[in-house]
């Protein structure tokens, strides 16, 4: 039986869903994989920091965070000076890094993951920024340390995209991909088809927690662009930054545009694509009209889809319906199991 000490940076919806999933799967992890765990540290931006070498009371941690109270009352140690000090003190074997994404630089998540690897931890994240801005550096450091840098939840939540290519498709060369990777914009466009204005649809997405208070990252295509970059960087071995993606969001699509499209039997979708052209990869995020003959036509609400073209299998599609913090948390859990088993 192998026991692993876990630490979390970030304890919002995804971090709390991860803790609940770990507790739910505790017996299964023990029975199937001989894995037991304790969470020795949680660092948050708004609810303080807690470190306990013997393991934190996780139910209490969730209750405190939801009540807006500090986690520090659960801590056995004095508060660390900053997050890097937390990582050094928490004594974990695995770090889950779930701080907010920085599209432009990937910081401070890159520094968090770097510190985890330097301290001998497996580094697991749902944050797209480090994958786009520091994939090679973090992967090489992980290899040098005999640890893993995994990030399944960065694109399409828990759907097994990166592990699919890493494990199940050896020697398959990815030529290109195309899909709907931002669930928020797909939900907005779906609700506009039902008669809501753009503003009403955005407001609804915010009310259910799908869109941020400032939804520009979704509706202007930044989230979709950084996901394209993550896929190209890892699966096509071609580093790509969001500024290199030809990007147009859905802000200019009106209710009249949507109505005219439906009258002609078509639908607006924010499509993402990347394709290898010689030694280069070109990428585009833009709204497109699709008809019933398209695999993207029937993708509604918060469902996502990506279609891969490889040199050996032709077209291969993955679809994820109705993602949630729980599905993102599952990707983190799967990375944990895969990291320690390997």
Tokens of 68: 């807006």
Cα distances (angstroms) measured from residue 151 to each of 94, 237, 258: 13, 16, 35
CA 81, CA 84: separation in Å to the nearest integer?
Answer: 8
Cα angle value 110/156/305 (rounded, 5°): 145
Tokens of 292: 């019933």
Q: Are strands 149-150 and 246-247 parallel, antiparallel or unpaired?
A: unpaired
Tokens of 34: 């001989």
- CA neighbours within 13 Å on the CB side: how many for 162? 29
Q: At what angle do helices 109-118 and 128-145 cross, to 10 degrees?
A: 10
Cα angle value 275/339/20 (rounded, 5°): 100
- Closest by CA position to 232, among listed 297, 288, 162: 162
3-state SS assignment for residue 305: strand
Active-site positions? 227
Sheet architecture: strand order including 314-320? 246-247, 280-290, 267-277, 174-180, 304-310, 314-320
Would you say 52 and 74 are in contact if contact means Cβ atoms under 8 Å apart?
Answer: yes
């Amino acid at each position: 039986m192998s026991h692993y000490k876990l630490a979390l940076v970030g304890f919002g919806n995804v971090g709390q869903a991860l803790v609940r999933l770990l507790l739910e799967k505790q017996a299964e992890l023990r029975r199937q994989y001989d894995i037991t765990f304790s969470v020795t540290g949680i660092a948050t931006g708004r609810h303080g920091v807690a470190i306990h070498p013997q393991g934190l009371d996780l139910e209490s941690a969730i209750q405190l965070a939801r009540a807006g109270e500090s986690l520090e009352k659960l801590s056995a140690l004095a508060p660390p000076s900053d997050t890097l000090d937390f990582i050094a003190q928490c004594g974990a074997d695995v770090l889950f890094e779930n701080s907010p994404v920085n599209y432009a630089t990937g910081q401070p998540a890159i520094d968090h993951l770097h510190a985890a690897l330097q301290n001998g931890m497996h580094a697991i994240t749902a944050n797209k920024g480090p994958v786009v801005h520091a994939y090679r550096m973090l992967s090489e450091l992980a290899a040098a340390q005999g640890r893993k840098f995994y990030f399944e939840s960065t694109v399409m939540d828990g759907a097994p995209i990166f592990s699919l290519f890493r494990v199940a498709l050896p020697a398959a060369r990815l030529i290109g991909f195309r899909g709907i990777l931002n669930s928020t914009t797909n939900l907005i466009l779906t609700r506009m088809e039902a008669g809501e204005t753009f503003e009403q649809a955005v407001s609804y997405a915010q009310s259910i927690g799908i869109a941020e208070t400032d939804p520009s990252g979704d509706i202007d295509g930044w989230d979709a662009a950084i996901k394209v970059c993550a896929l190209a960087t890892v699966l096509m071995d071609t580093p790509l930054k969001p500024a290199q993606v030809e990007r147009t969001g859905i802000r200019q699509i009106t209710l009249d545009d949507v109505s005219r499209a439906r009258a002609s039997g078509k639908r607006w979708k924010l499509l993402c694509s990347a394709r290898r052209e010689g030694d280069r990869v070109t990428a585009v995020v833009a709204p497109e009209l699709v008809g019933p003959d398209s695999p993207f036509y029937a993708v509604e609400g918060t469902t996502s889809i990506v279609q891969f073209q490889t040199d050996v299998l032709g077209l291969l599609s993955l679809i994820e319906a109705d993602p949630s913090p729980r599905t993102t948390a599952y990707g983190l859990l799967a990375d944990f199991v895969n990291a320690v088993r390997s």
